[in-house]
Chain A
Amino acid sequence: MHTGRTKDRMTTSADTGATGQERAGDQERMDHFEDTIARMSRVEPRDWMPDRYRATMIRQIAQHAHSEIIGMQPEGDWITRAPSLRRKAILLAKVQDEAGHGMYLYSAAETLGADRADLTEKLITARQKYSSIFNYPTLSYADVGVIGWLVDGAAICNQVPLCRSSYGPYARAMIRICKEESFHQRQGYELLLTMMRGTQAQRDLVQDAVNRFWWPTLMMFGPPDAASPNTAQSMHWGIKRHTNDELRQRFVDMAVPQADKLGVTLPDADLRWNGGRGHYDFGQVDWREFQAVLSGGGPCNTQRLARRQAAHEAGGWVREAALAHAAKHDKDHPERMRLTVPANQNANGGEANHG
């Protein structure tokens, strides 16, 4: 029981995002929620939570899911043109993983009361966003490697702390995703190493790709802390574990030695090691570009959403057909036909297990 426990930090109704009436009515539940957060324990789907927490969490998870799905496009465009069969298989598997990640995340969002079809509509109508990095085009096969190295690398920086998200289903999804994504990043980096040790034309492609993706990658961490007023609340609630600038710095510190090893030049004249800080100093991100791309002015915003919308609309008759068939042939109709699977295949393991 939690009766009248004094909180060990100052909070106001503005901080918790609840109305005065809500606090009066749900003080005990709020205390329990805050206590869960404070203990670094997890909030689970059936737990009470402030509306603001629920809404913020749905938005964050959904936009993360949208990013995975939209992210399939810039890389997916190169599958058919992959220059070796091995690279083709790797890329196809990676893009498939991204679809899976999107689904894990939509699944987590749905535990909060969201509906995937509704989230898809919000994506297509641009009411919810996705990572703006995917609004940039992929212009050569080197871009595939650079996305693996830099973009997935930045995503990992963002995502590993999210494995400790206060919301249970999200944290669990992130654990699975992080493992798979680290493999992707390794493959991307390995492609770049191979290219940098190859022909001059390959080296030129890599350097060009780095030139185009370096700054947009830094933008993936979001606006500077000074311009992010909601960070404090999100960190208090375990929705965020580090600030944007902290993660951006951490990423730069890791990427610079990797760039050196590759033999590429990062397109930042201000980049240099600062022994006093123990970090790399780097130049100013062009936040106007970030804002422009974020609000729809990027090179590929229109086509990314258009492709998603087209697939969803073109698939309407298929989804309807499946539902119509299911309605006609539910379990009460045993005459429904099924092809049997050869006995030597472990078909799905689930059929005979009831207990």
Chain B
Amino acid sequence: MTTLPPPSKVKLGLVIDLDTCVGCHACAVGCKQWNTGGIAGPLTDIEPYGKDPSGVWLNRVHSYELAPTGACGTTPSQPAQTLHFPRSCLHCETPACVTVCPTGASYKRGEDGIVLVDEDKCIGCGLCAWACPYGAREMSPVDGVMKKCTLCVDRIYNENLPEAEREPACVQVCPTRARHFGDLGDPDSKVSKLVAERGGVALMPELGYQPVNRYLPPRPRRAGNDVEAVRETPAETLDAKALPPVLKWLDRILSR
């Protein structure tokens, strides 16, 4: 059913720390590795070793340049920065990708808020991908059905795994611990506290889809005026009079 369930108490989701993400793509690769054999699998590739490789990825890492800014309020001026930005499904509370689905293949789980695709019902019309502003859904050209992040629903409840591993693959694999998984519906959960402490944000909330995932913005850099400092470094000076005689002569010849 593409009618949304009443808002769930538990809102499982990810919190992604843009301050510590180093853009290593391990989360993307870890996701691909787990999910190609998981319930969303296979995540097929076309010409993986060919000239124009392409394939289904449920998580992609973009890298951006942030331009330097002047001081703003209590934030000091910020230098230019590199921003690595992992992008995956945000498991919105009111996801348009679910309500536009004509078949009922897309659905939001009432118990924990995870948005999933039932691939046996999907007709591959692609409308849900059009309805998602975050680019979370990708069509498999081989299977003709839509693929998306499952929040590793086959890991997080998997009793065959040790308890410490019952987390999404992207969270498990992140070498800088930039990704956190938990219940964002519970204000006392670790992730909710982290979001409160670091001022976590939802992406494009004005569109009204109420994403559950949160992104923690980079912490303000301390020496915000570094840019100016670099620019104002005086040109190298040379005290020619202090040079040894041969070099003094060379300097005089070359300065002509």
The answer to whether A and B assemble together is no
Chain B residues close to A by CB (< 8 Å): none
